[in-house]
Amino acid sequence: MNAFLEKAKNIHTIKEAEALLWDCIPSPLPSTKKALELSHFAHQGQKRKSGEPYIVHPILVAAITAEYSNDETMVQAALLHDVVEDTHYEIEDLKKEFGDDVTHLVEGLTKIVQIRDEKLIPSGSDERLINSALSFRKMLIASIKDIRVLVIKLCDRLHNMLTLDALPPHKQKRIAEETLVVYAPIAHRLGSSRMKNQLEDLSFYYIYPDDY
């Protein structure tokens, strides 16, 4: 794991997360600051399984996105990626504030969640994950035409893998298996060997701890 991701993994406060984001974007656009403010407001009071403020997650996803791309539209979408799914905000609210492009990316990210819910077997099922994960990956590649949406989703998954310690062992393994079958191959398909290797390494740690 490179130094940047190691740093992100050990960040648990809003102040530290924002500092990392602004390190990646020293001169942010006003709309990027606005996206951060809206995300703060929308996720106010929400907590992650680790107990830390939920807002830390989208900020760090945005920082990882900025590390991989200098496109601030993608960074803004990363900051807002859970707003429609997890808060009272509607997609039309984002369109009024941020325009069509950011809204299009957030819609794509929300669509991925919907496809996952449809295609991936629930965690309580005894059925093997592999078949539904392959179906999910196939549908994902077919449905999401904008590569930027997939890149942001990979950054989201990367941060989730960095913070997997907060979950019980059976969920850790299941999410790691999904990452290995679905997301690492997508990173490879997009030509990002760096992202692919990071996702694979983090997955192996939970699936094959002895070999790792």
Choice among 6, 23, 85, 100 that is catalytic: 85
Torsional sign, CA 146, 152, 154, 160 = negative
The answer to whether the CB of 147 falls within 8 A of the CB of 189 is no
DSSP 191-212: T-HHHHHHHHHHHHHHHSTTT-
Which is catalytic among the residues 52, 71, 86, 97? 86
Are 149 and 105 a contacting pair, CB within 8 Å? yes
86 in active site: yes
DSSP H helical ranges for the chain = 3-9, 14-24, 30-42, 56-68, 72-79, 83-86, 91-119, 129-143, 147-162, 169-178, 184-189, 193-207
**CA–CA gap between residue 44 and residue 61 (Å, rounded):** 17
Closest to 77 measured CA to CA, from 126, 53, 110:
110
Residues designated catalytic: 85-86
